[in-house]
Each structure stands twice: as structure tokens, then as C-alpha cells.
Structure 1
Amino acid sequence: MPVTLASYNMHFGIGTDGRYDMARLADAVAAADIVCLQEVTQGWPQTGHEDQLATLATRLDRHAVFGPMLSLDASTRDSEGGIVQRRSTFGNAILSRWPIRHARTVPLPKATPPDSFDLQRVALEGVIEVPGLPLRVYSVHLSDIAPGQRRLQVDTLRDIVAGAAAAGRPWDGTSPLMEFLGYGPFEVPQSVAVLGDFNFTPQEANYPRLLAPAATAGHDAAPDGSFLVDAWDIARARGVAQGADRTYALGPEAEARIDYCFLDAGLAGRVERAWIDSAAQGSDHYPLFVTLESRSQP
């Protein structure tokens, strides 16, 4: 059974035409079984305090999990003086046709120069029970301010992804509480997909740095020893990549590919197709799609 993954930096729901349209955004990724999103907001006054993830999950009928980079107070007082609880949050999300068995949000390093603005960045990890292919999925958004900032985040991300199968379990052993809740012993899937807006092109040194060998016990490696491989490059080499080689729609980097689907080398043989939808107008990025066969190809 084929499984389609997508990555989309949704730019708060604001499209290339400056229009806010969550329905248009949802329709742009409706073909995907699993969607990794960046720049998702909840409770922001500029969007009518909409919970964007809930809107997308309802429209697409998907399971959903959110990994906030930050959470700001947006509470008010009602007419009687009581607190109306509300937060304005911003971060990454995962939507899935299948249940997201477990999720965790891992902060990435931030060493912002004093004269620059940047946000805390995170990697949102979700374990998804894809039929025939249990999968560990990451939704990632790296810093846009400097390669040096991204280098710190790349090193941390690579170690998290490579080491999760051994060290990244959400719990170890068993307990009466977990058994009462219906959760037995947890095993982290070996198969990994890392998707998101990395804010670097393939020409930046951080691109090969992310793919470089790491502590990957139990994982396959590519012929060059790399742990992760670029699904778009694999599809293009096989003649099954469609669309322009760019994922950013506006500004000086409009011809750049900065959004990716990286796979562990063991999944390289499952890539059936990849495409970038440059007709999508729901964001300042274009969505990237990758279809995998859930059974390994010869």
C-alpha cells in the first residue's frame, strides 16, 4: 500500500496573494496521508483566535498533534472579572490518517546574536502506526538567521533522530498506571522520515552535515555511509520527480529548495514518486510530497 508524506510551511495560513484561507491550505495537502506542517498558530488575534490545527484536522479527517515553539499569554477577563484562559501558540504539527501513537517535542539549540531576532526551534516527533510500515516522523523548522545557528540545530537533530531507537522511548519498562491506560511496552520504529523547512539549500554546508553518518545503531546506511537520504534526489534520479526544484514562493530565495523529506537509508528503495506543487497559493512555500511503498522494492 502506498503512503504519501507531505511537508508544508503554511505561513500562518496567509497565501502568496496575501489572503488568509485555511480551506485552501487544507485542500493543498489533502492528497497526503501524513502531513508535517510548520508555522501553525493557535489562538492568535490576527486570525480570529482560530485553532488552525483543529481546523485542518477536521477538514481532512486526520489525527493531529502539535509541537509549540512558544506559548504566549492571551488570557482576558470576563464581565464578572474571571480569567478567560487563552494562549497564543506557534509551532510545528503532524497530521496523520492513522493514529499518532506517541509524540514528543524536542527543543533545538538557540544562540541568537544580540542584534537579531529568532525563535526557539523544535523538532516534533510522532510515532505512527502506518499499516506495513511503522514510522517515526519528525516535523522540523530550523532557524533562518544564519548557517551557524542552523549548524547547532542540525547536529542536535541528527543525533536525536539517529539515537531515538535506542534512547528516545517515551517510557521504559511497565507500570500499573500505563497498563491501566492500555499502553504496553513501547518500541521505537527504526524507519524514519524527517520533513520540514530547513532554511538551507543543498549548497549550504549544513545539508551534507545533516546527512552525514551518526550514531545509527540498528539502522541501514547509504552506500556513502550516510544515515539520511534526500527523497527528492532519489525520485529525480529515478525519473519520478515532478515539479520545479524549488519550494519557496516569494522573495530573493524564490528559486530555492529549502523544504525537504529526508528518509533513513533503509527507506530509499521505497520511494515511488515525489512532486512539488508550485500551483499551490496557500502559503509563501510550496508543499512537497513523497510517496513510499509500504513494502520494500527489490
Structure 2
Amino acid sequence: MLCATYNIQYCKGKDGRYDIDRIVAELGDADLIALQEVETHVARSGDVNQATEIAARLPHLFWAFGPGIDADASEMVDGRVINKRRQFGNMILSRWPLLSVTNHPLPKTALAGLVHSRRALIEAVIDTPLGPIRFASVHFDHIGPSTRLPQVAFARELLLNGPRHGASWGGPFDDGWFDRPAPPMPEPVILMGDFNFTPDSAEYDLMLGAKSQHHGRVHDAHGLADAWVAAGHAEDEGVTIVHAGGAERIDHCFASHELAARVGEAWVDMVAQGSDHQPVFFRFTA
């Protein structure tokens, strides 16, 4: 099972061109895809719905889009409202049906004089060849630890306690609307996305567990593991974005320990040109 995460920067490539086809080509034949910075009806990217345009180019995949920002972009034409939403958020695509989907807004604090926006985490329940899992795409805040740490704490609690929160619905409904079985709420989880933090950060420690002087990284047995490290890489190895401040690994895949143990390989496509980030791939084996 091949999983990919890619912050597509609203399809704006390193050459300044907006190119949806290029983004789709760089995703290859991944089975599960987590995208970030997908936007709809914004003039800079052609006033298109990028979520539906990406999905149209991958007709063999099921999909869902979860905006963090959702604003009016409607037009009035001949006295009739053409309803459009200007949105910015995350997307999931899957070779297998999305049995249920929930878009979770992340904690946010208003800031003075800084570009800042609502962030979200979209989570889907999917019955994969590895069994039922929860697969999530997230984009944490870019400002710093003060804005990210509450988001990391929220996401970690949400994902690790999924079964306690329960599925989207349940119980003996008999009104005809819930004419399918309630979806499962499995414990195994894969979280992918642009985390905006590096492995030497407080956020990384909070997500996985801090380092011990004598024992290295101390993981909660019921917590998450870094799939990149599970594939045999060092924490400080790898680059997923190059910018004026340097080169960093900030695009991650965290997984339940039982799933992380199935990661056979992980790599970054350093050739891709479709965004300011690079797509990252993880192959899970049965």
C-alpha cells in the first residue's frame, strides 16, 4: 500500500506556474494520498475548484476535501446567485471507499499583525488491505510553537482516542436515513501532512515522546511512530522543503506502532517541481 503526502501550494510550482496536471503526475500511482493547501475559487489559481479538478484527473480514487478557510466567493448573474465558496484546506484520496469522513477545525488564537488562518485536520475511515484504519491529512500552523503546540495536542488526543469518541453514527436507527451499517472506528491510524515542525522541535516531542539521555526517543506503546524512521532513516535525515532559511524535513507520516512496523520504504521525490514542498512516499507491506 503506497501512501503519499504533498503540500501542493495551490498547484503553484517552483517556476511560478499553476499546473494541476503536474501535481497529479507527481503523485504517481499512490493508493492513499494526503494533500494540503488545496484551494477553490481563488483568482490567483484560475478561479477553479482545485479539489474537484484533482479528483477528475484521478477517477479511480475516492476523495474528500476539508477546508480550514471557507468564505463567500459567489457571483450574481442576471439576478441569480451563482454560489461559490473560496476555500483553503486539505484533501484525502483513496483507492478504497471512504466509509466516513470528519473535518476537524484545529485550535486557533487571533494574532496581531501576522498572516494567520484557520487550520484543519480531515480524517477518513478506510477499509484497506491492512484492515480498517483511520487516515488523516493535516496542515499545522506556520507561525511557531505557541500556535502549533495546542494543535498538536488536539490532534494527538483526537487520533489516539478515536474509539472512545466513537464513529460518526451508531445505534438502532429505523427512519431509513442510516440504511447502511455504522462505520467502524478502528484504533490504527496514519496521519500525514505538512506539520511545519522539524524532528528537533517541542512539537515533535509532544507528538511522539521526548528523548531520554540514556534511552533515546521514548515512545508511548499506545502512541505514534515516525514512519520515516521506521523505514530506516535517521530523524535528522531527509529534506521535504528548501527555502531561504535552509532545507528541512517538515512533511511527515506518523502512524500507530503496528502500522509503522509495516513500513518497508520511504522516500522524498526531490525532482518534483509542482510546489515549494516535495511529495513524500511511504510503502506499507501486508
2:230 maps to 234
Contact 1:112 1:149 in 2 (8 A): no
* Matches of 1:237 and 1:131, distance apart in 2: 25
- 1:249 paired with 2:245, answer no
* Matches of 2:75 and 2:6, distance apart in 1: 32
Choose from 273, 277, 283 the match for 1:285.
277
SS at match of 1:249: strand
**Once the 2 structures are TM-superposed, how far is the Cα of residue 17 of structure 1 from its aligned partner?**
1.0
Contact 1:26 1:59 in 2 (8 A): yes
Of 46-55 and 64-73, deviating more is 46-55
Contact 2:125 2:185 in 1 (8 A): yes
**Once the 2 structures are TM-superposed, how far is the Cα of residue 68 of structure 1 from its aligned partner?**
0.6
RMSD: 1.9
- 1:66 paired with 2:65, answer yes
* Matches of 2:233 and 2:238, distance apart in 1: 13
**Once the 2 structures are TM-superposed, how far is the Cα of residue 113 of structure 1 from its aligned partner?**
2.6
Unaligned ranges ≥5, structure 2: 211-216
1:166 maps to 164
Unaligned ranges ≥5, structure 1: 214-221
* Matches of 1:88 and 1:225, distance apart in 2: 40
Of 83-92 and 193-202, deviating more is 83-92
Structure 2 counterparts to residues 1-298 of structure 1, below 5 A: 3-61=1-59, 62-78=61-77, 80-177=78-175, 180-212=177-209, 224-226=219-221, 227-237=223-233, 245-253=238-246, 255-293=247-285, 295=286
* Matches of 2:126 and 2:244, distance apart in 1: 35
Residues 236-265 of structure 1, C-alpha deviation per residue, up to 9 Å, x if partnerless?
259xx9xx7010133314x10000000011
Structure-2 change in CA distance of 1:237 and 1:283 (3 Å): closer
Structure-2 change in CA distance of 1:168 and 1:49 (3 Å): farther
The structure where strand makes up a greater share of residues is 2
Aligned residues: 277
What residue identity is the alignment partner of 2:88? F
* Matches of 2:128 and 2:172, distance apart in 1: 24
Residues 175-231 of structure 1, C-alpha deviation per residue, up to 9 Å, x if partnerless?
124x55432133212210000001001011110101139xxxxxxxx9732510001
Contact 2:167 2:182 in 1 (8 A): no
Of 66-75 and 107-116, deviating more is 107-116
SS at match of 2:47: coil
User: Following superposition, which runs of at least 4 residues in structure 1 exceed 6 angstroms of deviation?
Assistant: none
2:213 maps to none
Contact 2:160 2:187 in 1 (8 A): no
TM-score with structure 1 setting the length: 0.88
What residue identity is the alignment partner of 1:288? V
* Matches of 2:21 and 2:103, distance apart in 1: 27
SS at match of 2:274: coil
* Matches of 2:256 and 2:145, distance apart in 1: 24
**Once the 2 structures are TM-superposed, how far is the Cα of residue 57 of structure 1 from its aligned partner?**
1.5
